[in-house]
Each structure stands twice: as C-alpha cells, then as structure tokens.
Structure 1
Amino acid sequence: MAPHFDHPGEQAAQDPIRLLAIRETPLSIDEVFKAVGDDATGGTTLFVGTVRNHDGGADVDSLGYSCHPTAEAEMRRIAERVVEKYPVRALAAVHRIGDLSVGDLAVVVAVSCPHRGEAFEACRMLIDDLKHEVPIWKHQTFSDGTEEWVGAC
C-alpha cells in the first residue's frame, strides 16, 4: 500500500527536473543549488566532483572530458529514474567537458526532497548512476608523461 501524505509538500513535485546540462564552461555550485530550491523541501543534498591531483598512485597533471552526443539524453533518463524512486521536489545535474585543471569542478548534482534521508539517497543514486551510465570519458595526463582513458565517468 502506498504511503498517505497529508500535505502536497510530502510528495514529488510535478516537474522536479530543473536543470540538466553538459557544458564546456566552468560549473557553478550556486547555480545548481538555486535550481533545486523549493519551499516544500526539508533536505537538500549537493555533491561536487572535482579534478584531483592523483589517480591510481600517479600524479595527474591535467585531464579532459569528452562525451557521446546522447549523454544529455542519458542524464535525463537517469534523472527520471531517480524521480520515480524518491519523492524528489527538485533535481539538477551538470557535467563539464573539455580540458580541466586540478581543482576544477567536473560535476555538480543536487536533489531536494521533503526529508534529509530521501535527499541523501536520491543524490547518491543520481551521481552513482551518472558516473556508471552516462557516456562521458576522461583522458588523464600524468606527470611522468603517460596518459590514460577512463570509461564512463
């Protein structure tokens, strides 16, 4: 039996997917956070993925992200799946492509739900599924001159 909610704010919003994008320009945490603002929200979870200076025991000098033309459509499919599973009031996700430096923002996702537990779980599902299913590839250059391509990230 489905749970009964006394207030509309306990339910998912009509159109909770507020922002989905893949960009070549720097990402904004503020933009993503503002996109998921909702007065019926009791919990908002924000995840920020940054370029780190190491991977697999090697020093990373730089990296570049590229994507398949279907990447945004895949992001939407994943966002819709999260919305189906959780009472999402608002959801946003942006991923960077192009050349990035250590410290740059690579991905920012956020989810707002009536309660914090749901927000944490929905945000975790969103970032994990984006990382594993969206066709975005990472090309890392290491300080020793070697390089590596990493599958869907």
Structure 2
Amino acid sequence: EHTGNSNAVPPLPSASGSATPDKAPKRSVEIALNNKSDEAVSRSTKTDRNKTRPVANKTPKPVSEQPRAVGNKGTPQQLVREAEQKYQAAIVLLGRDVNRSQIDPIALAQFERTLTAIDQAIADTRRAVRASPDDPVAVQYMLSAYAKKVEVLEEMTTARRTP
C-alpha cells in the first residue's frame, strides 16, 4: 500500500529478484510502526457510510482502566512487561537464525538500516512507556515497534543472495 510518504524506502528485492513493496522495511519511526498514528487519525475523521454524521472519536482508556482478558493475572503493566519479554525472546531467537552471509549485500544494508530505525523506535517508546505506564498509545507504539522488528528479522531469515 502506498502512503505517499516521501520517507518510504524503495522495496527490497525478494529472493526471486522482484520487488516486494508490501514487505519493504521502512526508514522512519512512524513508518516502522506501521503508520499507527495515521490509522488513529483516520479513525477519528471517518464518517459512517450509512449516515452523514462523523463517527465518535473515543479517547482510549488508560491501560490501568482497560478490562483484562479472562484468565490473565496481574496488572496491565505486568501484562505489558510479559509481552515485551516475549518479543525480546523472539528477537533473540530470530537474530540467531539470520544468516547474514547468505543475504544480498545491498539488501543486508537496507535491513540493517531498518533495524537501526526500529531499535531507536523501541528505545524511544520504552522511555515513553516507563514515563507514562498507563498511556495505551505509548504501550501500543512500543509493542508495534517490537512486532515490526520480529517481522523484519523473519524476513531476513528467508532472504537469500541473488545468483
């Protein structure tokens, strides 16, 4: 999907040599986070298709006020920490599976730039969550950054040098 953002990085060639724009790593933090802020903005300005009035713009509840799933134990902050730990463990495992010597050097450089941007997004959002642990938007951005890193590492595990 083309967002019209001038910060978008050209798509990486896939193992077959064709470009895959929907899986192309992105450069900026906002893009690396899957344009969640654009989605939130568009949600607040959409109109109901069957009516002409704007759809209500609801402010998310703080994490501490959000309902917990049945069977989950612990505070929302504990659940966020557990999710963060699971992402970190997945990142370590995937990082071990990446065979950088088998990836095309140009693609590898692009992956590395993307990972650097994602790591910065993770650091920034972790600070925001630590400063405001009840902020659901900060939590969402942090977990989205971790998910994006997992996605890029998964893509790297299947990337191969072009013949």
Which of the five TM-score ranges fits, normalised by the shorter chain?
A: under 0.3
The structure in which a higher percent of residues are strand is 1
Normalising by structure 1, we get a TM-score of 0.28
The structure in which a higher percent of residues are helix is 2
